[in-house]
Amino acid sequence: MSACKEDLVEPVYFGAVTGTVLDGRNNQPLANATVTTNPATSSYLTDAQGKFKIVEVPTGRFAITVSKTDYQQVVSNVTITEGQTADVSVVLTKSTTAALTAPNRPSPATQATGQPTDVTLSWRPVNARPSDSLRYDAVLYESNSTLQRKLLTNSRDTSVVASGLKYNTTYFWQVTVRNPAGATARTDTWSFQTRALPDNRFLYARTVAGNTDIYSSDNMGGGLLRLTSSMAVETAPQLSPNRDLVAYSSNASGQFQLYTMNRDGSNQRQITSLSAESYNNAGIGYRWSPDGAHLLYSHYDQLYRINRDGTGLVLLATAPAGRHFRECDWTVQNGGRLVVQTVGPNPYDAELYLYSVDGTNPVQFVGNLPGRVDSPSFSINGLSVLYSRDVAGFNDPGGRQLDAHLFIQRIDGTSTVDATAGATGTAGKIIGTNDIQGRVSPDGFRIIFVNRVNDDLSAPEIWTMDLDGRNRARLFSNGFWPDWK
């Protein structure tokens, strides 16, 4: 007889598992995460809601592994009970080794030229989603300089404005991207060049929101550049005869001093230590020498010459007792002359004198007439002086004028022409306004000047006219102390 053995078969029981996979940065569902099991069943992907489901899972201990590109893998253990569905939640965090791609598509394109001095720099992230929470650093270098200018630090922005750049200058810039896991990537070094400095021939002061600054522009007001921007009063700009520096006055130190700067507003530096002030003179009483090497300026009752770099201060003349020097000019024509205004405590108490260029031999040129006399300047040939005078003869201690005209008077006294009165009809000066602060144009045949309503409540305007007063034309509104070279 054969022996028999009974084999017992243990029954297998099943349950199920459901789960949700979330992004650890924002607790949002993660789609297309891969889910595998141990003991092995099949491989699963989460749906758009980050969910998955595994059926017919043997009871007992069960390991679920969840993975996704750029995230750390997570293993979750779950106990399966017969006929029951276990639910799990798995949170994935970004891998510390997650790869990043540097941004591309810079704007302006690298090696672009003709860019403005306030330029918007932008870039495009590569293979990035809003949920990636990328941060950016952006730095800028000026050519031939190792100084780094930080434009952005740890910012979500993908653009930034680089302002206050120099004209006709090459700049280099670079962007670094960073993710929450600490991975970084850096772009190539991009570059661009700013546009050439506009050849603005007109300088003037302008008051905006109570702050007075220096501006330059072309004759149509185009290419407008604001050259100063401090909270101090910066006024009375004058371009040097060789057109390389702008002189101006500022009370940044508490008193009006003379300064120079480049034509783009850079390299501002104080050149006087004795203030450029006197009776009714808030920094306006100065003038370049014809060769651009020196500045002539008034300091109370003293007239000084100073080198353009602030050295070599020389006292040229002292005003008559009880008077101060104010506005002045300098010509090299006909052996060279200075014309200087002297004033008393009242602004209408004014006279004009001619001096030799060394400050000797003063000769009265215009006496103390009724009404203010201001702003003497030589004609191109040095044979005449342009100045303003209130023909209404109004002697106001506050300095108000009612009907100021511009006059051209020969230095030999043979002729005096009222240029303002030379224009008649609708082309002439408007009643109730003053023509003041006149200068002869570079071609010698026109005058640039300020016209202002005589109550000084409206903004001043800058005009031009021919020497005989014809062809009056407004250049700019809200401008004063004009210079044209």
Distance CA 73, CA 24 (A): 12
What's 283's DSSP letter?
S
Q: Which CATH superfamily is domain 104-194 in?
A: Immunoglobulins (2.60.40.10)
Q: Is the pLDDT of residue 382 over 70?
A: yes
Tokens standing for residue 174: 């670079």
3-class DSSP assignment, residue 421: helix
Distance CA 239, CA 255 (A): 22
Q: What percent of the chain clears pLDDT 70, i.e. is strictly above it? A: 96
pLDDT attached to residue 4: 52
Least confident stretch, 2-11, 54-63, 85-94, 114-123: 2-11
Distance CA 430, CA 405 (A): 11
Type and span of the H or E element at 138:
strand 135-142
**Tens digits of per-residue pLDDT, 259-305?**
999 999 989 999 999 999 999 999 999 999 999 999 999 999 999 99
Candidates 3.40.50.170, 2.40.10.10, 2.40.30.10, 2.60.40.1120; correct CATH number of 14-92?
2.60.40.1120
Distance CA 398, CA 346 (A): 8
> By the 8 A CB rule, do 337 and 382 touch?
yes
The domains of the chain are located at 14-92, 104-194, 202-484
Q: Is the pLDDT of residue 424 over 80?
A: no
Cα three-residue angle 224-228-230, rounded to 5 degrees: 140
More confident: 206 or 422 = 206
Tell me which residue of 481, 476, 482, 4 sits closest to 223, measured CA to CA: 476
pLDDT attached to residue 223: 84
CATH 2.120.10.30 fits 202-484, yes or no: yes
3-class DSSP assignment, residue 447: strand
pLDDT attached to residue 1: 44
What's 156's DSSP letter?
S
Tell me which residue of 348, 359, 442 sits closest to 397, measured CA to CA: 348
Band the pLDDT of 427: cuts 50, 70, 90. Answer: low
pLDDT attached to residue 3: 54
- The average confidence (pLDDT) of the chain is 91
- Say if 104-194 and 202-484 have the same CATH topology: no
pLDDT attached to residue 131: 67
Residue 404 dihedral angles phi and psi, to the nearest 5°: -75, 135
**Tens digits of per-residue pLDDT, 134-193?**
999 999 999 988 888 999 999 999 999 999 898 999 999 999 999 887 888 999 999 999
Q: Is the pLDDT of residue 6 over 60?
A: no
Question: Does the pTM of the predicted model rise above 0.85?
Answer: no
By DSSP bridging, strand 225-226 and strand 211-217 are: antiparallel
Count of Cβ atoms closer than 10 Å to residue 219 Cβ: 14
Q: Is the pLDDT of residue 125 over 60?
A: yes
The mean pLDDT value for 208-234 works out to 92
Count of Cβ atoms closer than 10 Å to residue 38 Cβ: 12
